[in-house]
């Protein structure tokens, strides 16, 4: 009987020691709201302001071309009845050429805008990624999901580490002026 009780106590003790180990063996999961992190990350507003300022410059480059096309089309509409077939064709070709030049310039500026936006956002995204990676390691998380992605339907708010990410970003990621300074287009 004594041996049985001793064995029972030993088994209970081992079970007590094994329970935390088993609990730790399961995956540890967390999630963030990437939209909130990106919106509130240090330097994000400055990068957005720099980008919008540069976009204003791009739009200013397109406006004269658009106005020129509009002017040509208005002139054509007013005089179309009086123009000879050859003159009509010539005017129509002139309008098409201006429209093609406009489309080409717009595509070029859109490409420049995408490149510039990536340049402005890349340092911020690198810092965000580093903070998330550090928190994952420090917290022992197996995986950190993005709640803004389409895959998560519902989650326990206790698993949300968005504020931890933002706090760490604000504490460690001082944005240098050179990263958000507007470049000449």
Q: What is the pLDDT of residue 39?
A: 92
Cα torsion 73, 74, 77, 82: sign: negative
pLDDT for residue 5: 35
Tokens standing for 61? 């480059």
The reported pLDDT for the residue numbered 7 is 35
Q: What local confidence, expressed as pLDDT, does residue 41 receive?
A: 93
Return the pLDDT at 48. Answer: 92
Question: Does the global pTM surpass 0.85?
Answer: no
Q: What's residue 9's pLDDT?
A: 40
Of 27, 29, 25, nearest in space to 145 by CA: 29
CA dihedral of 38, 44, 50, 53, whole degrees rounded to 10: 50
56-64 long-range CB contacts below 8 Å, 24 or more apart?
57/185, 58/109, 58/112, 58/113, 58/185, 61/105, 61/109, 61/185, 62/102, 62/105, 62/106, 62/109
Per-residue pLDDT, 111:
96
What pLDDT is attached to residue 17?
Answer: 40
Per residue of the chain (185 residues), give pLDDT as tens: 443 333 334 333 333 444 444 455 688 999 999 999 999 999 999 999 999 999 999 999 999 999 999 999 999 899 888 889 998 999 999 999 999 999 999 999 999 999 999 999 999 999 999 999 999 999 999 999 998 887 778 888 889 899 999 999 998 865 444 444 445 44
Contacts of range 57-63, beta carbons closer than 8 Å, 24 or more positions apart: 57/185, 58/109, 58/112, 58/113, 58/185, 61/105, 61/109, 61/185, 62/102, 62/105, 62/106, 62/109
């Amino acid at each position: 009987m004594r041996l049985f009780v001793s064995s029972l106590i030993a088994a209970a003790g081992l079970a007590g020691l094994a329970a935390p180990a088993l609990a730790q063996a399961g995956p540890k999961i967390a999630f963030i709201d990437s939209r909130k992190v990106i919106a509130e990350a240090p330097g994000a507003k400055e990068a957005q302001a720099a980008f919008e300022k540069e976009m204003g410059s791009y739009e200013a480059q397109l406006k004269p071309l658009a106005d020129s096309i509009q002017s040509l089309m208005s002139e054509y509409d007013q005089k179309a009845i009086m123009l000879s077939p050859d003159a009509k064709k010539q005017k129509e070709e002139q309008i098409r050429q201006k429209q093609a030049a406009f489309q080409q310039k717009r595509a070029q500026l859109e490409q420049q805008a995408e490149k510039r936006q990536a340049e402005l956002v890349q340092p911020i995204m690198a810092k965000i990624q580093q903070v998330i990676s550090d928190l994952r390691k420090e917290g022992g998380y197996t995986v950190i999901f993005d709640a803004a992605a389409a895959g998560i339907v519902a989650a326990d708010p206790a698993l949300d580490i968005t504020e931890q990410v933002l706090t760490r970003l604000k504490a460690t990621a001082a944005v240098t002026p050179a990263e958000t300074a507007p470049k000449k287009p």
